[in-house]
């Protein structure tokens, strides 16, 4: 048995956290996806907490994990702090605690991972804005949609929209529809090809929102993935399953910032994956607005 027989995975791939200060709310919020492992000989009850700097964290309960098992969780508002006034970086700790009882009083194991948070400021004149897609010219500005699994013919579709925007008058909206294809796995991809400059620091800033036409208990969103072609950059949620549970935030704007390789051709992909437990006449949407690539 391991000396500390629990473990904590903070994403696929494991990575630091980046965000952009421009138009970021104050206070700013931190969400994380975690996977906890129990390698002990007995079932244990798990909690996740945070520590570090000016952050205020909300302790989160995972619950019972059987011996040899693991569990994923997405904590939408794990921490908050006052918005920094300028670019900076800081470290924080994510602490996994395992207890022998359901009342979480008898602590048996503790495991800690440390990660870095980088605040960048895309409005700083030291950055070059290499790509800005705000869709306010009424076009999709080179974005397209692709059916990876489970869509009806002709879907997903991509168009400008006015229902949810960050900068008027338009955002970009991907619409997925699947009634005749019935229950099962659904995957829709929003994508664009672009080239990055030959500079040391290159970032993509993606403001994204996921939602439905109406609440439907047969639709269960599993993950939102940001990829460069087949290479994962960010994974929000958990891998696909057929549990009747949703693992990603819905009906709210999320900001995702990812470093990109310099002087490269990039196949930027925003992929939504979900499970439909029975045939459902409904639509699922992904919006983006003010997509940027910046560099310096």
Structure-token pair, residue 263: 């002087």
∠ Cα 16 20 22 (to 5°):
170
Instruction: Please state whether beta strands 265-276 and 283-295 pair in parallel, antiparallel, or not at all (unpaired).
Output: unpaired
Tell me the Ramachandran region of residue 192: left when phi exceeds 0, alpha when psi lies from -120 to 50, beta otherwise.
Answer: beta
Are 228 and 265 within 8 A, CB to CB? Answer: no
- At 13 the pLDDT is 57
What class does CATH assign to 128-295? Answer: mainly beta
Give per-residue pLDDT as tens, 112-128. Answer: 999 899 999 999 999 99
Are 291 and 258 within 8 A, CB to CB? Answer: no
- The answer to whether the pTM exceeds 0.85 is yes
Are 78 and 62 within 8 A, CB to CB? Answer: no
- At 182 the pLDDT is 81
**Residue ranges of the domains in the chain?**
6-120, 128-295
> Taking the CB of residue 243, how many other CB atoms lie within 10 A of it?
12
Q: For every one of its 296 residues, what pLDDT tens digit does the chain have, with 9 covering 90 and above?
A: 568 899 998 876 556 899 999 999 999 999 888 999 999 999 999 999 999 989 999 999 999 999 999 998 888 889 999 999 999 999 999 999 999 999 999 999 999 999 899 999 999 999 999 999 999 999 999 999 999 999 999 999 999 999 999 999 999 999 999 887 788 999 999 999 999 999 999 999 999 999 987 666 788 999 999 999 999 999 888 899 999 989 999 999 999 999 999 999 999 999 999 999 887 777 899 999 999 999 99
CA atoms within 13 A on the CB side of 157: 11
Which of 232, 287, 285, 273 shows the shortest CA–CA distance to 150? 273
- At 1 the pLDDT is 54
- At 33 the pLDDT is 86
CATH topology of domain 6-120: Immunoglobulin-like (2.60.40)
């Amino acid at each position: 048995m391991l000396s500390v027989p629990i473990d904590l995975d903070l994403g696929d791939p494991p990575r630091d956290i980046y965000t952009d200060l421009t138009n970021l709310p104050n206070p700013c919020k931190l969400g994380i996806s975690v996977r906890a492992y129990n390698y002990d000989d007995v079932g244990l009850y798990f909690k996740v907490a945070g520590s570090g700097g000016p952050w205020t964290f909300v302790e989160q309960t995972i619950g019972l994990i059987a011996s040899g098992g693991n569990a994923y969780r997405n904590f939408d508002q794990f921490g908050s702090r006052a918005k920094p006034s300028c670019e900076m970086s800081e470290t924080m700790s994510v602490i996994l605690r395992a207890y022998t009882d359901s009342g979480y009083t008898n602590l048996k194991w503790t495991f800690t991972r440390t990660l870095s948070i980088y605040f960048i400021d895309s409005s700083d004149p030291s950055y070059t804005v290499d790509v800005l897609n705000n869709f306010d010219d009424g076009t999709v500005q080179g974005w397209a949609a692709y059916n990876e699994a489970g869509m009806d013919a002709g879907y997903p579709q991509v168009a400008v929209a006015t229902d949810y925007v960050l900068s008027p008058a338009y955002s970009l909206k991907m619409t997925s529809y699947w009634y005749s294809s019935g229950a099962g796995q659904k995957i829709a991809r929003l994508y664009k090809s672009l080239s990055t400059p030959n500079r040391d620091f290159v970032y993509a800033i993606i403001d994204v929102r996921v939602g439905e036409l109406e609440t439907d208990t047969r639709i269960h969103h599993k993950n939102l993935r940001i990829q460069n072609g087949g290479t994962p950059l960010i994974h929000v949620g958990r891998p696909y399953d057929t549990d009747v549970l949703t693992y990603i935030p819905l009906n709210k704007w999320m900001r995702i910032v990812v470093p990109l390789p310099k002087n490269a051709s990039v196949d930027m992909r925003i992929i939504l994956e979900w499970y439909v437990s029975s045939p459902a006449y409904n639509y699922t949407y992904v919006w983006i607005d003010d997509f940027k690539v910046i560099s310096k």
